[in-house]
Each structure stands twice: as structure tokens, then as C-alpha cells.
A and B are shown apart, each in its own frame.
Chain A
Amino acid sequence: MSVDRDTVRRIAQLARIRVEEEELDPLANELSAILGWIEQLDEVNTDGVKPMTSVEAMEMKKREDEVTDGFCAEDILANAPKREGNFFVVPKVVE
């Protein structure tokens, strides 16, 4: 699978990573090489194989639906790059 500049631009946008124009071609080459190498999986016949969903067969653990944590706003905000009171601050979202 060969990846072109437009695809790189689209992936970068989905991944929310700014990619400069001059980086598009090198990235397209790198991603194409890796995806091309991955294509060898097409040789494997997986008809009727169930995809792996967990490494060890075990039942999903359940617990009582009750509050086990909380009242630690200060801890949650302690590492915020920008805050106001008990809020994270982001650029204006609604015009």
C-alpha cells in the first residue's frame, strides 16, 4: 500500500499532529515502506479464524457500581498547563 501526500495530510489531521509541507514526502515514503512490509500478512490464510480479543481467557471482572474515588480536584488540576480555579483553560471553542 503506497501512501501519498494527501493521505499523509489526512492522517496527520486525524491524529491532530501538525505536519509541515516539506515533511509530507519523507513521511509518505516512510509510511509506505512500513505498510508495504506489513502487507506480507496477506499471505496468511485467516479464513474462519476468530480475532484474538484477550491473551488469557478470563471473565470480565465486575464490581459494585459505587463511588470509589473523587473529591480530589486539586490533584486532577495539579499538572494543568493552564487553569482558572477548578477549570482547565482552552482556547475559545464557541464563537
Chain B
Amino acid sequence: MTDLTKLTLAEARDGLRRKDFSARELTEAYLDAMAAGRKLNAYVAETPDIALKMAEESDRRLAAGEARPLEGVPVGVKDLYATKGVHTQACSHILDDFKPTYESTVTANLWNDGAVMLGKLNMDEFAMGSSNETSWYGPVINPWKAKDSDADLTPGGSSGGSAAAVAARLCAAATASDTGGSIRQPAAFTGTVGLKPTYGRCSRWGMVAFASSLDQAGPIARTVRDAAIMLTSMAGHDEKDTTSVNASVPDYEAALEGDLSGVRVGIPQEYRVDGMPEEIETLWSRSAEWLKERGAEIVEVSLPHTKYALPAYYIVAPAEASSNLARYDGVRYGLRVEGDSITDMYEKTRAAGFGPEVRRRVMIGTYVLSAGYYDAYYLKAQKVRALIKRDFDEVFERVDMLLTPATPSAAFALGSMTDDPLQMYLNDIFTVTVNMAGLPGISVPAGFAANGLPLGMQLIGRPFDEAGILRAARHMEEAAGLDLDPAAWWRD
């Protein structure tokens, strides 16, 4: 039999329905690929027993003609989604041995639609990072290698495990989450498709919180169609998350059809930053050309406050993180280091449990929220955020979506940026504006750098127009026509 892990999610779903193979066979193929792919360190917990049990139920339903939308499709789950009775630590030491007694809404939606859980995926600790190097479980290795080099590269972050697992065919698709670029940057670095939906499109209930006004769940998948299928199952209103939006979820796969005539695509001039490699600039123009050939009109636009999004983000996100992470105190769950007094116990537990990047952000957040500084930092940042949002509102009166690069570079070597937090933060320069304004954004593989590594382009849509950017992304994917299957050097 052909290697079942090579099938896209859509092909696997259709093959299962035609009974070309069983859910058990498909699941076993993935479990074998995961075992052979441990060098990549993409999974922090494998759940073969659960997977096989879910596959068995899927085979029963497929036989009975009762297949649900994702029946028998094996997926991986980012470690920040609460999964009942299964390892959930957001890859932090401070959540050692935590096994939730409840299931996150997004994963529950996937299981209710028939998906099969393969395991939990590696990530930056509490989703704070852009290279997956802050994980308590160590970095993930990108399945892609640069031409003529054996150096291990980062898959990006924070959803590095999700992106690497999808790229290496260790799952059909994965859940991920995006606070400043954590879905789109790793997708761009691994030749996969990453979709950050509009804030409120997916429920945040049962996701380990980082920055509550920015966090949003979304999929990483191999194709635009696969991402559309995943989002259709993941999205939806949830009474348990007051910020989730009570609006019907379209069939995003059906919405992929159609050309782009009448669609106006804006090119924001502020995204032409100093020092951006020429090959990214060239690919950006070529991508605009592809959209034009397929009926879109290209318009130059301006988003004047773009450069202030990242510094404002580094007030808002740490401030919210410092509040959210106050719950980790050694009392109710996770790690505990004993002390002479309750304060001593708190301080020792948190010193031992948080890694350097999380500590740095909690301290920045504590500082900007401390007495006397609130107006100068947090309030100022929320005002700048309002201006960033206003820029987008004004531009969306003239265009339907925006096209930008997803990242300022291709994947970089592990260890090459860890000494300079500020340099690392700049990775999110093109993605973070979208979180600040709560918009949907998708990263699509659009070409290769001269060194053979994949590069991604980003489409940014109006609030709740995931369907629009998915359709345009499908056209870009089709026009690019890339072979995105990295050589499996990691297999023994």
C-alpha cells in the first residue's frame, strides 16, 4: 500500500469514506511515522492507545455510514489545549504532571467531528517564543534543511511542534494557537499553511492562557483546503468563553471555490522594511501578480502605525501574561517547591518553574502594570492599538484583503538568536499587527529561498472573512505549485 501519511487531510478523509483503507490503518501509519520521527522532538506526549480506540470507533461509524466531518482523520494537538486525562503543560516545568479533568472546547469540537488524537505537540513555554527553544522539553527541529548544510534549523514558534509534525507528515493536521504570530511564522518556516482566525471565531475555553485579548486558536495544515476543513470543525460559539462570537460557522471548504474577480488586494507599503532579503521582496511581487492573473485588483495602501505594533505588543502581551500566570503558585496544580512560608514557597516554585523568557515577560508585565506606570505603558499601548485598528478599518473601506510577507526571513539555525531577546521579537514584525487588531490572517507557502527553504506570504482579511482569505490563499497555492515534502532525513 502507498504511504498513507502522504495523503492530505482531504484525501485521507475521502479515502476513508470510499473504504480504500481503514481508520485503524491510517492511524497506525501515523503512529509508525511518529515513532520514526522522534529525532524532530515534535511530540511531547504520544497517545497511541487513545488514537487506536478513537480509530476503532471511526471504523465502526464509517462501516455504518455514519461518518462525521473528520471521521478517522489523525491530528496532533498543541500542548496548551487541555485534553482530559492527557499531558497538558504548555511545555512548562511549572505544570509538571498536570492532567486536566476537562477537555478544551476546540479539541472537543474536533473529537465530536470524528478526528483521532495522536498526541500532544511541542511548543515554546506558554507560547512565549518564536523558535520553540523556550520549551521545557527542548527545541523542535525543522524537517527542512538548507541546501548543502546539515545544520538543524528552527521550525519557528511558538507552534513549532505543530508545524514540524505537519510538515514531516507526523499528523494529518494540527491545532495551534497564535498570540503574535505563533501559527503563521512556524507555518512559513516549514512550508505549511497556518491560519489565525478572527479573535472570537474559536473558543479559548480550555486553552492555557497567555495574553487573553490576543490569543486565538487555529489550524496548521498541509494545504489551504485542509486548513479550511480544520477551521470548520474547530470554530463556533461557546457559552464558556464570553469573547467567542455567536455567529454561524460557514463551510470554509465550500467557500474555496470561485475566482478572484472583483477582489481588491492591498499592498501595505510599511511592510517593505529595511534589510528585508530581496528574494522575499521578489516573491511578494510575484504573489501579487498571481492574484492579479486570477482576477484580483492590486492596490497600494498605507498602514502608518505598523512599526508601533511590536513595541505596543510587548506591553500588552506581557501585562496580560503576568496576570494570567499568577495562578501558578504551587497550590492547585503542577510544580511545588517547599518553603519556610507561603511567600517563600510561591517564590521558589515560580523561580524553578518558569524558564528565562517566561520570567522576563512576567517581570516586564508586572513592571508596566505596577503603581504609577499603568498610564505610561499599558494605557498608552492600548491607545496605540486603537490607532493600529483604525489604520486597518480605513484601508478595508478600499480593499478586501491585504498581502504581505509572513516573516522577514526563512527559518534560521537553532541557537542563533537565543542571546538577544529583542532580535527574536522582530520575527513577529509582519504578524503581530493582525493580533493587535483581532483580524484573520493566513500564511501560505509561496516559494523557496535561494538556500532551498520555504517562504510564506500572508493574507490579512476583514473581521470574520476567513472564507475570503482562504479562497485567495488557495489561488496562490495553486499558482505557486510547490513540492512541499521535505526529504525524510530524520528516519533511522
| B383: A residues at CB distance < 8 A | 44, 46, 49-52
Instruction: Note all chain B residues with C-beta closer than 8 A to A72.
Output: 101
CB atoms of B245 and A63 under 8 A apart = no
Q: Which residue of A lies closest to B199 (CB)?
A: A55
Instruction: State whether A51 and B386 are in contact (beta carbons under 8 Å apart), knowing that A17-B347, A34-B421, A79-B332 are contacts in the complex.
Output: yes
Q: Which of B354-375 contact A (CB under 8 A)?
A: 354, 359-360, 362-364, 366-367, 370
Contact B332 A80 (CB under 8 A): yes
Question: What per-residue 1/0 map shows which CB atoms of A34-74 lie under 8 Å from chain B?
Answer: 11011111011010011111111010110100000000100
Q: How far is the CB of A35 from chain B (nearest CB, A)?
A: 7
Report B-chain residues with C-beta under 8 Å of the C-beta of A79. Answer: 97-101, 332-334
Distance in Å from the Cβ of A36 to the closest Cβ of chain B? Answer: 9
B385 at the interface (CB under 8 A from A): yes
Q: Of B332, B350, B367, which is within 8 A of A17 by CB?
A: B350
Across the interface, do B363 and A16 meet the contact criterion of CB distance under 8 Å? no
Interface of A is mostly: loop
A-binding residues in B (CB < 8 A): 97-102, 198-200, 213, 239, 242-243, 245-246, 305, 307-308, 311-312, 314-315, 322, 326, 329-336, 338-348, 350-351, 354, 359-360, 362-364, 366-367, 370, 377, 379-387, 389, 421-422, 437-438, 463
10 pairs, CB–CB < 8 Å, chain A vs chain B: A11-B363, A11-B366, A37-B311, A44-B383, A46-B387, A49-B386, A55-B200, A80-B333, A91-B338, A93-B341
CA distance A92 to B100 in the complex (A): 28
Q: A41-B380, A51-B382 are in contact. Are A30 and B421 (CB under 8 A)?
A: yes
Which residues from A are CB-within-8-Å of B341? 91-93
Partner pick for B351 among A19, A30, A39, CB 8 A cutoff: A19
The count of A-to-B residue pairs whose CB atoms sit within 8 angstroms is 156
Closest 9 CB pairs of A and B: A55-B438, A51-B382, A79-B333, A81-B336, A18-B351, A75-B101, A46-B383, A18-B347, A52-B386
A56/B345 contact (C-beta < 8 A), A46-B383, A49-B383, A81-B335 known: no
Is B366 in contact with A14, judged by CB distance below 8 angstroms? yes
Q: Which residues of A contact B422 (CB under 8 A)?
A: 33-34, 37
Q: Please, which residues of chain A bring their CB within 8 A of the CB of B351?
A: 17-19
Query: Contact at B364–A35, with CB atoms within 8 Å?
Result: yes
Partner of A41, one of B308, B333, B340, B366: B308
Could you tell me the distance in whole angstroms from the C-beta of B335 to the nearest C-beta in chain A? 7
- In the complex, the answer to whether A18 meets B348 with C-beta atoms within 8 Å is yes
Q: In the docked arrangement, what's the CA distance between A60 and B474, Å?
A: 36
Given contacts A78-B101, A92-B341, 16 further A-B contacts (CB under 8 A): A11-B370, A15-B350, A16-B350, A17-B347, A30-B421, A34-B422, A38-B311, A38-B377, A44-B387, A46-B380, A46-B383, A58-B245, A80-B332, A81-B335, A88-B331, A88-B332
Q: Is the interface of B mostly helix, strand, loop or mixed?
A: helix
Q: Give the complex CA separation of A43 and B374 in angstroms.
A: 18
For the complex formed, measure the closest distance between the CB of A47 and the CB atoms of chain B, giving whole angstroms.
9
- Kindly state the separation between the CA atoms of A40 and B305 in the bound complex, as whole angstroms: 12
**In the complex, what residues of B have CB within 8 A of residue A31's CB?**
360, 363-364, 367
Residue of B331, B335, B354 near A80 (CB, 8 A) is B331
A19-B360 Cα distance, complex, nearest whole Å: 11
How far does the alpha carbon of A19 sit from the alpha carbon of B322 in the complex, in Å? 16
Residues of B within 8 A of A19 (CB): 351
A residues less than 8 Å from B379 (CB atoms): 51
Q: Give A80 to B101 CA distance when docked, in angstroms.
A: 12
Give the most central of A56, A60, A79, A92: most B CB within 10 Å: A79
Complex contact B421–A16 (CB within 8 A) = no
> In the assembly, what is the distance between CA of A56 and CA of B463, in Å?
8
Q: Known contacts being A18-B351, A79-B334, is A90 close to B342, with CB within 8 Å?
A: yes
Q: How far is it, in angstroms, between the C-alpha of A46 and the C-alpha of B334 when the chains are bound? A: 42
Shortest Cβ distance from B325 into A: residue:
A15
